[in-house]
Amino acid sequence: MYINRLAILCNDPVFSEKSQALAARLAVPLYDKVDKFTPEDFFLTYRDDCLKLIDKELLKKGGLMVDIQPRQGEQRSWPAPKEGALAQAIGRKTKTVIDATTGWAQDSLHIFRMGYDVRCIERSAIMLELLGDAFRRLEQLDWVKRLDLSAPILMRGNAIELLTQLTDKPDCIYLDPMFPAKRKKSALPKKSMLILRDLLGDDMDKQALFDAAMQATAKKVVVKSPSYAEPLGGKPAQSFKSKLLRYDVYIK
């Protein structure tokens, strides 16, 4: 699946066993060093006690990981106050939420910190590894252990298919599909960004995903979109806006 695109890099013997297991799960090569002749452009590697995605040009720099810490402006208490456009859209009476477009999980983790019961759907094998590592780190945090909390549940697969198979309907299904940029950029995207998008896969059909979510939810679907985008499901029952984003609410 990722031939000549992705490999595992392990240059720390402490992570040798974990790296071997990761390479086996993804069926990709395992290297202890990388040079200009290495065919792959992207690598998963354990650094700073977490799993990161790096590219060949930035081998000695940070890399991408799923950040489990609150974003700037978000509360660090638990449960965090249900404030802001996202919280208003999900609603105070909501208990269970499925994030059907998890990605880097920043919204999922914010919803989790507000005290909701969260499940996350992701189809990319790479993102599932990064998310699994992040949720393990989350459960090791002092406040999570002190409150005896569990990280969001990860569900692997195509969201459209998984939503049709649900036996227990969540109160809310959250969607953050990819929307086209407002303006076309004059320069072509960097090769590394094109490869990264190729690695993670294109976005699924937004309309089919919305339709599946409306069938699967018990109460509502919340769609996150740029403020300029047309509503995905037609006129929503409610809309809550932040500076650049809009959260459209569709009632079952």
Domain parsing of the chain, residue ranges? 6-58, 84-251
Matching CATH number, 84-251, of 3.40.190.10, 3.40.50.10320, 3.40.50.150, 3.30.365.10: 3.40.50.150
- The pTM is what? 0.90
Average pLDDT over residues 117-141: 96
pLDDT value of residue 61: 75
Query: Of residues 92 and 193, which shows the higher confidence score?
Result: 92
Q: What is the mean pLDDT of the chain?
A: 89
Name the band, by pLDDT with cuts 50, 70 and 90, for residue 52: very high
pLDDT value of residue 243: 85
pLDDT value of residue 201: 64
pLDDT digits (tens, 9 = 90+) for 155-198: 999 999 999 999 999 999 999 987 766 655 544 555 555 556 66
Name the band, by pLDDT with cuts 50, 70 and 90, for residue 79: confident
Q: Compute φ and ψ for 46, nearest 5 degrees.
A: -90, 115
Name the band, by pLDDT with cuts 50, 70 and 90, for residue 63: confident
- Cβ neighbours for 208, distance < 8 A, ≥ 6 positions apart: 160
Query: Of residues 116 and 83, which shows the higher confidence score?
Result: 116
pLDDT value of residue 208: 95
Residue 42 has pLDDT above 60, yes or no: yes
Query: Of residues 174 and 11, which shows the higher confidence score?
Result: 174
Q: By CB neighbour count within 10 A (0-12 exposed, 13-18 middle, 19+ buried), where does 70 fall?
A: middle
Q: Coil, helix or strand for 137?
A: helix
Average pLDDT over residues 99-103: 94
pLDDT value of residue 186: 45
Name the band, by pLDDT with cuts 50, 70 and 90, for residue 216: very high
224 beta partners: 247
Q: Coil, helix or strand for 127?
A: helix
Two tokens at 82?
A: 């249900």
Average pLDDT over residues 204-220: 94
Calculate what percentage of the chain has a pLDDT beyond 90.
71
Lowest mean pLDDT among 30-44, 77-91, 179-193: 179-193
Calculate what percentage of the chain has a pLDDT beyond 70.
87
Name the band, by pLDDT with cuts 50, 70 and 90, for residue 111: very high
* Sheet with 50-55, side-by-side order of all strands: 30-31, 6-9, 42-47, 50-55
Number of residues in the chain: 252
